[in-house]
Amino acid sequence: MIKTPRILDGIAIATQIKSEVAAEVQALATRGIEPGLAVVLVGEVPASQIYVRSKVKACGELGIFSELIKPLESVTTSEMLALVADLNDRDDIDGILIQLPLPKHVDTKRLLEAVAPDKDVDGFHPVNVGRLQSGQPALAPCTPAGIIEILRRSQLPVAGQNAVVVGRSDIVGKPAAMMLLNSSATVTICHSKTANLAAFTQAADILVAAIGRPGFVTPTMVKPGAILIDVGINRITDADEVERFFPGDADRRATFAKRGSVVVGDIDPAAFAHAGAYTPVPGGVGALTIAMLMQNTVTAAKLRRGISTEKK
């Protein structure tokens, strides 16, 4: 008998995490502590503006102080470095988030490495990368941390499982693989140059797709009963592609007619029928990113003051 795949509801899990963060913020308030997040948004990139508004809104909902700083598009690397140095020195700021992408003339790598590691709520600083690799407490990248939370809170087994991560980015693929390894999974990292990729994905008990290509993982590449974690958020604007990925889906057609696009992940939706459990797109991993940013901000506030971050 074929079991119906379990949908891993990222929105519900994100709501749960935010509720816990709000309680942590209230507990800190009794000690006279208000976690603070500085969000730096350069220029007028529409997508970045939307993301930043969501982050600032979440701070307000959870009682976290936020400060939005908007340098002009013409800002220089030196000016940005001076701004980061000032934020590093401010005691009311526990987390610094620099919204990417930055203008091409700004040295992004140099800037991210200038953020104090204990305020690096994106988890991008080499010091935090090293801490994560060595199993030390660290501010971990938000999306990979969200993946682990989905698996943990859904009570899905990780230890001893074969986990395959398709994608090797510094932001998602590599840290996700490291966090799965730290959770005692046996981990393989694959990428666009992997020969006979299907041989690896077909052996995966946990398959994380983070390669940035719509529907890249097809049904034949999936082990029956596997846990599918789809990190991809790809906007498709071609009607034929919509019909290929969502045949007969009236809701998707209506969305496409209204907006001129629909979102699909890195896993072909047809593959979900073969899964034991999967994260939908939208409503899966993406929903966790801001929640984990809020958690990282509170964690940073505690670590900077020597307060335990152990969950009771």
pLDDT single digits (tens) 294-311: 999 999 999 999 998 887
Looking at the chain, the whole-number percentage of residues with pLDDT higher than 90 is: 92
Do residues 148 and 230 both lie within one domain?
Answer: yes
Of 55, 82, 117, the residue that ends a domain is: 117
The residue annotated as part of the active site, out of 55, 119, 174, 223, is: 55
pLDDT above 60 for 138: yes
65-114: per-residue pLDDT in tens?
999 999 999 999 999 999 999 999 999 999 999 999 999 999 999 999 99
144-180: per-residue pLDDT in tens?
999 999 999 999 999 999 999 999 999 999 999 999 9
Looking at the chain, the whole-number percentage of residues with pLDDT higher than 70 is: 99
Do residues 172 and 53 both lie within one domain?
Answer: no
User: What local confidence, expressed as pLDDT, does residue 179 receive?
Assistant: 96
Active site residue 251: no
Active site residue 122: yes
pLDDT above 90 for 45: no
Whether residue 61 lies inside any domain: the answer is: yes
Q: In total, how many domains does the chain have?
A: 2
The residue annotated as part of the active site, out of 94, 99, 223, 268, is: 99
Active site residue 99: yes
Task: Identify residue 136 by its one-letter amino acid code.
Answer: Q
Do residues 252 and 176 both lie within one domain?
Answer: yes
Mean pLDDT within 266-290 = 96
Whether residue 293 lies inside any domain: the answer is: no
Do residues 151 and 62 both lie within one domain?
Answer: no
Task: In whole angstroms, give the CA distance from residue 299 to residue 200.
Answer: 36
Assign 2 a pLDDT band (cuts: 50, 70, 90).
low
Whether residue 251 lies inside any domain: the answer is: yes
User: What local confidence, expressed as pLDDT, does residue 118 receive?
Assistant: 96
User: What local confidence, expressed as pLDDT, does residue 312 receive?
Assistant: 60
Do residues 175 and 277 both lie within one domain?
Answer: yes
Residue 89 near residue 123 (C-beta atoms within 8 A): no
pLDDT above 50 for 1: no
Residues spanned by the domain of 201: 141-285
The residue annotated as part of the active site, out of 120, 122, 266, 268, is: 122
CATH number at residue 107: 3.40.50.10860
Average pLDDT, the chain: 95
